[in-house]
């Protein structure tokens, strides 16, 4: 099982929203816009995990709250 943490960061004015992707030790491993699936796939390297994470990202509404995602 692999654990990731996601947090949605609200952009201001011309700066878009971003997603922070962190590993089990909460180390930042990715920082990208929610709609950039290709960037997520480069960071995660597993297409199945990337697809699962993208579905969670698409459903995220709250800003600034860390969300734990466990993948098998």
User: What are the E-state strand segments in 18-62?
Assistant: 18-22, 28-32
* E strand or H helix at 61: none
The pLDDT score that the predictor gives to residue 52 is 94
Q: How confident is the model at residue 8 (pLDDT cuts 50, 70, 90)?
A: very high
The mean pLDDT of the chain is 93
Supply 23's token pair: 């590993």
Does 15 score more than 90 pLDDT?
no
Rounded CA-CA distance 51/14 in Å is 28
User: What are the E-state strand segments in 1-72?
Assistant: 2-9, 18-22, 28-32, 67-71
Residue 3's DSSP bridge partners are 70
pLDDT (tens digit per residue) in 18-38: 999 999 999 999 999 998 889
Mean pLDDT for the stretch of residues 53-61: 94
């Amino acid at each position: 099982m692999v654990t990731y943490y996601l947090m949605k960061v609200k952009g201001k004015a011309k700066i878009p929203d971003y997603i922070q992707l962190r590993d089990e030790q909460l180390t930042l491993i990715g920082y990208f816009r929610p709609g950039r699936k290709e960037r997520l796939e480069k960071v995660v390297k597993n297409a199945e995990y990337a697809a699962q994470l993208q579905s969670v990202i698409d459903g995220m509404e709250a800003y600034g709250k860390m969300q734990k995602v466990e993948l098998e």
